[in-house]
Each structure stands twice: as structure tokens, then as C-alpha cells.
């Protein structure tokens, strides 16, 4: 079930704590400093009690290096117990939806806790529910009674209006806007500046291109492009693992 949300971060258990109450040692999975990892580090600079102590990344040439003074210890799947011992929580700092959901499910099987990160300038309604491991960017808005499911990204200045249901591992890009009662399926991508009118249902694994205006339901695994938002082709996430 969704957990209670508060400004800054949300813990994966049901007990909300003040940001000043506890030091959190955080492991980031994904070390691309010119991608989502860089964005996450920037947001975390606002929170003095959260310390990133390690990056986990499967890029061979990064192992053993340091990024912004933080060690890259290799792939999370093969991480030693010593490298995990001093980590309280994890956050998946990867933009790819499929990879993020796969990693999330692996982490939960190992009973790791994931941190939701919310920029201080974001506006999240008290009645909104944010699941664990999510990222809510600068000046983003999540309105009343909306749900944002596990490891979804609501990026810079995106607007999730009232009574939305956002699935797992969804990415809503900067300045995209969903109107009331929109539903978005797992692992779908909503491009920069896209607009979705009220009561529309977006299927799983769908790709809504930048600037598209969606006025009717979109089936699973479909790409929509252009102002008229015509069906273009099956999207890049078609070949998925049946376990997802």
C-alpha cells in the first residue's frame, strides 16, 4: 500500500520522520553523473542529513573510481556484504523505466529499503500517495488524491493533476501535464511538454512523445507522436521480460 508522504523524502516503512531526526546513509544505483544520478545528487544537496556513501553501477570502467568524492563499488548484484554494511537505504538513479523496475524488484527480494526523494520546491498534496523509491523533481506538482507508484519519476515542473493513478516505473518528463483522473500504466514514458486530457487511460509500456496532446485512451506498448497524437509504431519497450 502507499506510504504517507512528507516534504523531502519518504521512508519505505510506515513511520514518517522529520528530515532532521535521523542521518541516512544512502546508496545510489546508477552513476551517470550527466544523467539521472547527477540530478539526484543535486537534489540531495538540500538535505544535510542524507549522505551518499556509494554508487553501484555495472559499467566496468567506473568500478573503483570516484564520482564527486563518492566511490563506485561495482554492480549491486555482486556487491560484497562489506560494501552494503553501512548503507541504510537505496535510491535507483536510472532513467530507463524497464531497468529501474527490474532493479527495484531485485532489491525488494533482498529486503532492502528504498528512499523516495522530493525536491524542496515540489508541491505534493497531503492527500497524494507516493510509493517508495520515487523521484519528484524541482517545481513538480502532484495534486490531491493522486497516486504515484514505486520507482516512478515525476520530473522538473511536471504536473500530475488530481485523482491520477501513475503506475510503477513511469517517467513523466519535464513540463508534461496530466489532467484529472488520468491513469498511466507501468513503465510508460510521457515526453517533455506532453499534455493528457481528463479521464484518459495510457496503457503499459507506452511512449508519449514530446509535445504530444493525448485526447483518447492509448493501448499498451504504443508510441504516440505529434499534436494530433496519431499512433506511430510499437515502442522501444516491446521486448520485455515476461516476469515483469
What is the set of active-site residues?
A: 162
Place of cell 520522520: 17
Strand partners, 172: 154, 190
> Torsion-angle region of residue 49: left (phi > 0), alpha (psi -120 to 50) or beta?
alpha
Question: Which of helix, strand or coil describes residue 179?
Answer: coil
Measured CA to CA, the distance from residue 188 to residue 152 in angstroms comes to 10
Distances from the Cα of 237 to the Cα of 56, 143, 220, 223, angstroms: 24, 29, 10, 10
- C-alpha–C-alpha distance, residues 212 and 200, integer Å: 14
Cell of 71: 566511490
Region at 95 (left for phi over 0; alpha for psi -120 to 50; beta for the rest) = alpha
Amino acid at each position: 500500500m502507499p506510504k504517507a508522504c512528507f516534504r523531502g523524502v519518504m521512508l519505505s516503512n510506515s513511520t514518517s520522520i522529520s528530515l532532521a531526526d535521523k542521518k541516512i546513509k544512502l546508496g545510489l544505483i546508477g552513476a551517470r553523473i550527466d544523467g539521472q544520478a547527477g540530478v539526484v545528487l543535486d537534489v540531495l544537496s538540500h538535505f544535510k542529513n542524507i549522505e551518499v556513501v556509494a554508487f553501484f553501477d555495472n559499467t566496468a570502467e567506473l568500478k573503483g573510481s570516484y564520482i564527486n568524492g563518492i566511490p563506485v563499488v561495482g554492480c549491486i548484484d555482486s556487491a560484497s556484504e562489506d560494501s552494503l554494511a553501512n548503507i541504510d537505504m537505496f535510491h535507483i538513479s536510472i532513467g530507463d523505466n524497464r531497468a529501474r523496475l527490474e532493479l527495484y524488484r531485485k532489491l525488494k527480494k533482498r529486503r532492502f529499503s528504498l528512499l523516495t526523494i522530493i525536491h524542496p520546491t515540489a508541491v505534493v498534496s497531503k492527500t497524494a500517495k507516493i510509493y517508495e523509491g520515487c523521484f519528484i523533481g524541482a517545481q513538480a506538482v502532484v495534486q490531491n488524491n493522486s497516486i504515484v507508484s514505486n520507482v516512478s519519476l515525476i520530473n522538473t515542473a511536471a504536473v500530475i493533476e488530481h485523482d491520477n493513478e501513475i503506475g510503477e516505473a513511469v517517467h513523466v518528463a519535464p513540463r508534461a501535464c496530466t489532467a484529472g483522473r488520468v491513469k498511466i500504466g507501468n513503465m510508460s514514458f510521457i515526453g517533455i511538454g506532453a499534455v493528457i486530457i481528463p479521464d484518459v487511460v495510457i496503457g503499459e509500456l507506452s511512449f508519449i512523445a514530446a509535445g504530444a496532446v493525448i485526447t483518447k485512451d492509448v493501448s499498451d506498448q504504443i508510441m504516440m507522436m505529434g499534436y494530433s497524437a496519431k499512433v506511430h509504431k510499437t515502442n522501444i519497450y516491446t521486448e520485455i521480460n515476461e516476469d515483469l
